[in-house]
Amino acid sequence: MQLNRIGRIQYIEVDFPGSSDSIQGFTTRHEGVSRPPYNSLNLGMNTQDQQANVEGNRSLLARAFGVNQEALVTPRQTHGSDILVINELNEDYSHFLSVESDAVITNQSNVIIGVCVADCAPILLFDPEQKVIAVVHAGWKGTAAKLVSKTVAGMQSEFGSIPAKLQAAIGPCIQKCCYEVDEPVKKAFQQVGITWDLCAEQKTPGKWQLDLALSNKELLSLAGVSADAIQISEQCVCCHSEQFFSYRRDKDDSGRQMGFIMLKG
C-alpha cells in the first residue's frame, strides 16, 4: 500500500499482485470541498456536513476514476450483516444508496463499490480469476457477525470464486493503541472462533485493547483466504488526525473516508 494521487484524490493505493484488472484503495481526508470540522474529503452521507459538500466530494472521487457519480455505489450502512450483490441485471445503480447493507459484491466493471468508515475497518476483496470484487464495512459488530466471511462465501456462491485465489486488503482503521472494548465484545468474538488472546490485549480488569484488523485477518484465513494474500494497513485513524477521520476521536464532528474498488472496463 502506498500513497498515490489521481486527479485531486489523494489515496492509499492497494496493489493486488499479478493483476491490472482492478483499481482500489482507501481515501484520506485531503483535497475535498468540506469545511471544518469535516475538512475536507468527507464522503459519508450520514454526517452533519452539508449535503452539497458530500455530493461534491463523491463526484470528485468518481470523476478521478473516470465514472459518473451514479456509478459510485455505497449502501446505507447499519452495522448489520446484509450483503448487496450487483450483477449484469442491474442497469441503474442510483437506488442502491438507500439499500441497507454493510458489504457489496459485484462482477460488473466501471462501477465503484465502497464503504464509508471513520474507525471501522474497510476491507477490499478481489478475485483475479472470476473478475469479482467486494467491499466490507467491519466494526466490532460486523466482525462478530463474521461479515467478511459471509462476503467470501457470497463471492463463491454468486460468482464461483475460490477463496484460496482471493486477494484481500484491510485498510486504515482504529488500531489497538486507541480501541478499548469491554466484556460483551470479548464474548461475541470468542463465539465466532476469533482467538481473543491473539487479537486483544488486556490493560485493566474488564477492558481490552482490540486489534480489529487482525481479527478480520483471522476470519479471512478461516474462510480459506491465503495469509500471504491479505494486506493490512498499520495506520491508526485515531492517532493520525492530519490524514484520517475518526469517530472515537471527533464524535459527531467526524467525516468519513472510503475503502473502494472498481473493475476496469
Using the rule CB under 5 A, which residue among 177, 184, 203, 265 binds Zn ion?
A: 177
Q: Is 31 left (phi over 0), alpha (psi -120 to 50) or beta?
A: left
Nearer to Zn ion, 177 or 227 (CB): 177
Please provide the size of the chain in residues: 265
Residue 33 binds Zn ion (CB under 5 A): no
Q: Which residue is nearest to Zn ion (CB)?
A: 236
Min dist CB 240 to Zn ion, Å, is 8
Measure the CA–CA gap between 211 and 213, rounded to whole angstroms.
6
The CA–CA distances, whole Å, from 74 to 127, 178, 215, 240 equal 20, 27, 24, 24
Min dist CB 170 to Zn ion, Å, is 15
Count of other CB atoms within 10 angstroms of residue 70: 13
Measure the CA–CA gap between 72 and 111, rounded to whole angstroms.
6
Phi, psi of 251 (to 5 degrees): 50, -135
Nearer to Zn ion, 103 or 174 (CB): 174
Nearer to Zn ion, 59 or 235 (CB): 235
- Binding positions for Zn ion, 236-255, rule CB under 5 A: 236, 238-239
Count of other CB atoms within 10 angstroms of residue 141: 17
Min dist CB 209 to Zn ion, Å, is 10
Joined grid coordinates for residue 209: 485493547
Q: Which stretch binds Zn ion (CB under 5 A): 78-86, 130-138, 148-156, 172-180?
A: 172-180
Nearer to Zn ion, 110 or 241 (CB): 241
- Binding positions for Zn ion, 210-239, rule CB under 5 A: 236, 238-239
Measure the CA–CA gap between 179 and 216, rounded to whole angstroms.
15
Q: Which stretch binds Zn ion (CB under 5 A): 25-33, 113-121, 133-141, 177-185?
A: 177-185
Q: Which stretch binds Zn ion (CB under 5 A): 4-12, 88-96, 127-135, 174-182?
A: 174-182
Contact positions vs Zn ion (CB under 5 A): 175, 177-178, 236, 238-239
